[in-house]
Chains A and B, each alone.
Chain A
Amino acid sequence: MTDDHLSNTEPEAAFQERVDNEIKIEPKDWMPEGYRRNLIRQISQHAHSEVIGMQPEGNWITRAPTLKRKMILLAKVQDEAGHGLYLYSAAETLGVTREDMIGALHEGHAKYASIFNYPTLTWADVGVIGWLVDSAAIVNQISLQRTSYGPYSRAMIRICKEESFHQRQGFEILMPLASGSLEQKAMAQDAMNRWWWPTLMMFGPHDSESVHGAKSMQWKIKRKSNDELRQDFIDQTVPQAEYLGLAIPDPDLKWNEERGHYDFGEIDWDEFRTVVSGNGLCNRERLERHSRAHREGEWVREAMRACEEKKRTA
């Protein structure tokens, strides 16, 4: 065994032991390059999702049916911007810059949750997003509160506290619709039909197909696998749909007494791949809008720099 070999494996073994013992990794600790890269990819993807996710809901702020609903939606979308900020900051502790992350998003190297590439066609979509999409995000984020990386874990704890109003406001939008007129009911059911499967896709490919899965679990970046999280979400959501009287668009969905879980049908993975690879209904629009907002904000950043410069030289 050479010295070189020693120096390569010993810190890695010590690192893994720490992780195995549920000891958090903090920014200045030694960490394997792969761990750092994996975290940067996951946290920045998560941050981009929060920020891009403002667009489909933002689409309804000016058209919310009442002032109360408008204020609530505004507050929710504002929260999502905050979540993006917490997460970008957590990623920055790993040595990546905000500019790099935004650049990777605009150039299409970085991904964000595929769900946000679907359009919001009616007001019921806003209810269904809050209820289903935020619930799915919460199921994922609750498990990530126990992620091995300290700053990511603390961001998740903060975010989870803020999320619970998001899903409740969504459910509260749907209650009167689902028990309202025939048209209102039909609108709620239509939203359910369009959002159910894309929501299940949010958890990502099956564990057997997941590229980063095994390493992420070994390093405890992720604490539950894609399939476990998806099952958790379905098990908690089916009774809620039953309460609303909304049908879940899956003929194979049924309670499995033996497993103690719901069985469900196969996801259309072709659709998932199409959306992830940039060809969903709204991918171009979402990215274009983000880039445009960024470009149009350049004069603000410029003015701030000029002001700073003036103060320094004054």
Chain B
Amino acid sequence: MKLPLYEVFVRSKRGLDHKHVGSLHAKDGAQALKFARDCYTRRGEGLSIWVVRSSDIVASQEEDAASFFDPSDDKPYRHATFYRIPPEVKNL
């Protein structure tokens, strides 16, 4: 029997986002959590773990990145540095 793959996300500190750290095989979510604890947080790296079935993740393809993200490439005006504000004007 092949066990399903789980993606593991660990929150290292309260207030921070859960961050992807890797993946593992397990028979279900509860087991994946235990395995993730043993595998990814042996040195107190985490306060909280999320596990998600890899097959439930919908991902964009990196090969498509050029066309996928291209709508934002020609919009420098979305950045604050695009606007020329005289240096003597503070707090803008």
Determine if A171 is an interface residue (Cβ-Cβ < 8 Å).
yes
Determine if A217 is an interface residue (Cβ-Cβ < 8 Å).
no
Q: How far is the CB of B78 from chain A (nearest CB, A)?
A: 5
Asked whether A168 lies within 8 Å of B83 as measured between CB atoms, the reply is yes
Determine if B88 is an interface residue (Cβ-Cβ < 8 Å).
yes
Asked whether B77 lies within 8 Å of A150 as measured between CB atoms, the reply is no
Give the residue of B78, B79, B83, B89 whose beta carbon is less than 8 angstroms from that of A240.
Answer: B89
Interface residues of B in 1-34 (CB under 8 A from A): 11, 14-15, 17
Determine if A153 is an interface residue (Cβ-Cβ < 8 Å).
yes
Asked whether A75 lies within 8 Å of B15 as measured between CB atoms, the reply is no
Asked whether A150 lies within 8 Å of B80 as measured between CB atoms, the reply is no
Contact with A along B70-92 (1 / 0, CB 8 A): 00000101111011111011111
Give the residue of B14, B17, B48, B89 whose beta carbon is less than 8 angstroms from that of A243.
Answer: B89
State A34–B11 Cα separation when bound (angstroms).
Answer: 26
| Chain B interface SS verdict (over half) | loop
Total A-B contacts with CB atoms under 8 angstroms apart: 56
Return the chain A residue nearest B15 by Cβ: A24
- Contact A243-B88, Cβ < 8 Å, known A24-B15, A75-B75, A154-B17: yes
Contact with B along A56-85 (1 / 0, CB 8 A): 000000000000100110010001000000
Give the residue of B17, B80, B88 whose beta carbon is less than 8 angstroms from that of A168.
Answer: B80
Q: Which of B15, B48, B86 has most chain A Cβ within 10 Å?
A: B15
Asked whether A236 lies within 8 Å of B80 as measured between CB atoms, the reply is no
- Contact A26-B14, Cβ < 8 Å, known A165-B80, A167-B92: yes
Return the chain A residue nearest B83 by Cβ: A168
Asked whether B14 lies within 8 Å of A23 as measured between CB atoms, the reply is yes
State A171–B86 Cα separation when bound (angstroms).
Answer: 10
Q: How far is the CB of B33 from chain A (nearest CB, A)?
A: 13
What residues of chain A lie closer than 8 Å to B17, measured between beta carbons? 154
Give the residue of A26, A75, A171 whose beta carbon is less than 8 angstroms from that of B77.
Answer: A75
- Contact A71-B77, Cβ < 8 Å, known A167-B92, A168-B92: yes
- Contact A236-B75, Cβ < 8 Å, known A26-B14, A165-B83: no
Asked whether B78 lies within 8 Å of A165 as measured between CB atoms, the reply is yes
State A72–B82 Cα separation when bound (angstroms).
Answer: 10
Q: How far is the CB of A307 from chain B (nearest CB, A)?
A: 16
Asked whether B91 lies within 8 Å of A240 as measured between CB atoms, the reply is yes
Determine if A218 is an interface residue (Cβ-Cβ < 8 Å).
no
Asked whether B90 lies within 8 Å of A164 as measured between CB atoms, the reply is no
Return the chain A residue nearest B18 by Cβ: A26
Interface residues of B in 41-67 (CB under 8 A from A): 48
Q: How far is the CB of A24 from chain B (nearest CB, A)?
A: 4
Determine if A283 is an interface residue (Cβ-Cβ < 8 Å).
no
Determine if A297 is an interface residue (Cβ-Cβ < 8 Å).
no
Return the chain A residue nearest B47 by Cβ: A26
Determine if A239 is an interface residue (Cβ-Cβ < 8 Å).
yes
What residues of chain B lie closer than 8 Å to A79, measured between beta carbons? 78
What residues of chain A lie closer than 8 Å to B91, measured between beta carbons? 135, 236-237, 240
What residues of chain B lie closer than 8 Å to A164, measured between beta carbons? 80, 92
- Contact A150-B78, Cβ < 8 Å, known A172-B85, A240-B89: no
- Contact A171-B80, Cβ < 8 Å, known A23-B14, A150-B14: no
State A71–B82 Cα separation when bound (angstroms).
Answer: 13
Return the chain B residue nearest A148 by Cβ: B15
Determine if A169 is an interface residue (Cβ-Cβ < 8 Å).
yes
What residues of chain A lie closer than 8 Å to B79, measured between beta carbons? 165
Contact with B along A167-186 (1 / 0, CB 8 A): 11101100000000000000
- Report 17 cross-chain contacts, Cβ distance below 8 Å, ordered by A residue: A23-B14, A26-B14, A75-B75, A75-B78, A154-B15, A165-B78, A165-B82, A168-B85, A168-B92, A171-B85, A171-B89, A172-B85, A236-B90, A236-B91, A239-B89, A239-B90, A240-B89
